[in-house]
Amino acid sequence: MKVIVCEMGHHCCSKQKVKRGLWSPEEDEKLIKHITNHGHGCWSSVPKLAGLQRCGKSCRLRWINYLRPDLRRGSFTEHEERTIIDVHRILGNRWAQIAKHLPGRTDNEVKNFWNSCIKKKLIAQGLDPNTHNLLSPHQIPILNANNNKNMDSTKPVFAIINTSTQTKDAKKVPPFQPRSDALANAQFSSSANDSIMSHNLCENSLTRQSSNLYYQDCNIVLENDARHQSSLGFSSQHLVGSANMPILLPLSSSSHPPDHFGSAVQSWGVNGGFGVGLEPVRRPEVYDQEMLQPVMVNQGVVAQEFVNKGLDLRGGGEVHNQTNVEMGSFDGCNIDLEFMEAALMPCEMYSNVGSLNQLAWDCN
C-alpha cells in the first residue's frame, strides 16, 4: 500500500503533514476509539485528539463512509437497487438524498453502486441513466455496438424517447431535469382534482405519468416525424405523450419489422397501451382519472390542440378507434420488462419510498 504524505490539502490540515490514501487498521482503531469515547465534535480537532496524522475532513469521511457502526455492509439488494433507480429518476445525482432512503447506506456507496452497476444496467436496457428515458436514436448505434455480444437479433430492442424529442430539433430540447421545486409543492391524493393539480405541478417529475407507457415502432415514429409537427399535429403519440412523457419504442426487430406495427402505429393511444406488458402495473384509478382529464394532465401544446379542435379526449375520436394491437407481439423479447416497469413505475408501488410527498419533504 502506498501512503502519500503531503503538506497540501485543506486549510484544516495545512499546518501539519497529513497522511493520505488508504487507512490502516491502526488508524481505524484510533478513530473508532476516539469517537466512541468522545464523539467527533469538531472534525478539525479530531485528528489531534485521536492521535492521527490525518486531516479532519479525511477522518470525517472515513467515519461516515466506513467506520460508522450503523453502516450496512455488503452488496445491494434488488429492493435497494430499485429504490435507488426510482429516487434517482426524481432527484437526479443527489446521492445524499438518495442515500437517506437506504438505511445504513452512504451517499458514496450509492454513488459508486450507481456508477459501477446500475448505470450499465440501464444502458443495457436502452435507458439513458441520466434521464431514465429511452436512449435517443442517435445513441443506439453506440449502444448496439457495445452490446452486440448480448443481443439477440431476433428480438426487439427498446429505447425510451421523450415525446418532446420527437422533433427535428431534438437536440435543442432540454433533457429531463428533476424538479425538486415542483415536487416540494406536489400533492398526491386519490381525487381527480388533486391528480390534475399534481400533474400540473410535477410536469417533469415522472410520477404517475411514468406509468403511461406506450410502445410504438421507432421506425414509423421517425418516418412520421414531420407529421407529428404538422399543423394538424395530432396522432396517438400526441395524445399519449405530453411534452415530457416517455414512450417506449421497439427500436428494431427482425421478427417485428416496421410493417408489423404499421397498422398499429396509431393504435397505441390512450386505450391502446401495450396491454399485456403494462396494464398490470397501472392503477385503475389513475388510469381513469387521466382518461377523464388528459388535457389537464398533459399540459403540452398538443393537448391544447385537442381542446382547440373540440375533440373529445375521453372517447378518443380517431385515436380511440384504433386499438387493434397485437398484444402477443413481444413475447419472448429479450428486454427485462419487469425491470423497465420498475424503473418507470411510481415509486410508491414498489419501493420503500412511501410517497413523493416523502421525497418532496426530503428535498427541503
Partner DNA sequence: AAAACATACAACCGCACCCGT
Partner DNA sequence: TACGGGTGCGGTTGTATGTTT
Q: State the residues that interact with DNA by CB under 7 A.
A: 1-2, 4, 6, 8-12, 19-23, 40-45, 54, 56-58, 60-62, 65-66, 75, 93-97, 107-109, 111-113, 115-117, 120
Task: State the Cα–Cα distance between residues 62 and 241, nearest whole angstrom.
Answer: 46
Closest approach of Cβ 120 to DNA, in Å?
A: 7
Task: State the Cα–Cα distance between residues 256 and 287, nearest whole angstrom.
Answer: 28
Closest approach of Cβ 290 to DNA, in Å?
A: 32
Q: Which residues contact 136 (CB under 8 A, 6 or more apart)?
A: 128, 159, 161, 165, 170
Task: State the Cα–Cα distance between residues 206 and 348, nearest whole angstrom.
Answer: 12
- The CB-side HSE value for 86 (13 A sphere, CA atoms) comes to 29
Smaller CB distance to DNA: residue 54 or 256? 54
Taking CA 203 as the corner, what is the angle to CA 293 and CA 252, rounded to the nearest 5 degrees? 90
Smaller CB distance to DNA: residue 115 or 193? 115
Task: State the Cα–Cα distance between residues 267 and 325, nearest whole angstrom.
Answer: 6
Closest approach of Cβ 43 to DNA, in Å?
A: 3
Smaller CB distance to DNA: residue 120 or 260? 120
Alpha-carbon distances, residue 47 vs 32, 53, 58, 60, 215 (angstroms): 12, 6, 9, 10, 58
Smaller CB distance to DNA: residue 2 or 312? 2
Smaller CB distance to DNA: residue 31 or 296? 31
Q: 332: buried, middle or exposed (CB in 10 Å: 19+, 13-18, 0-12)?
A: exposed
Dump strand ranges (E) for the chain: 4-6, 18-20, 157-162, 246-252
Task: State the Cα–Cα distance between residues 104 and 87, nearest whole angstrom.
Answer: 16
Smaller CB distance to DNA: residue 73 or 308? 73
- The CB-side HSE value for 335 (13 A sphere, CA atoms) comes to 28
Closest approach of Cβ 252 to DNA, in Å?
A: 24
Closest approach of Cβ 210 to DNA, in Å?
A: 22
Smaller CB distance to DNA: residue 123 or 220? 123
Write out the three cell numbers for 288: 381513469
Closest approach of Cβ 61 to DNA, in Å?
A: 5
Closest approach of Cβ 207 to DNA, in Å?
A: 20
Smaller CB distance to DNA: residue 126 or 300? 126
Q: How many CB atoms lie within 10 A of CB 173?
A: 16
Closest approach of Cβ 36 to DNA, in Å?
A: 17
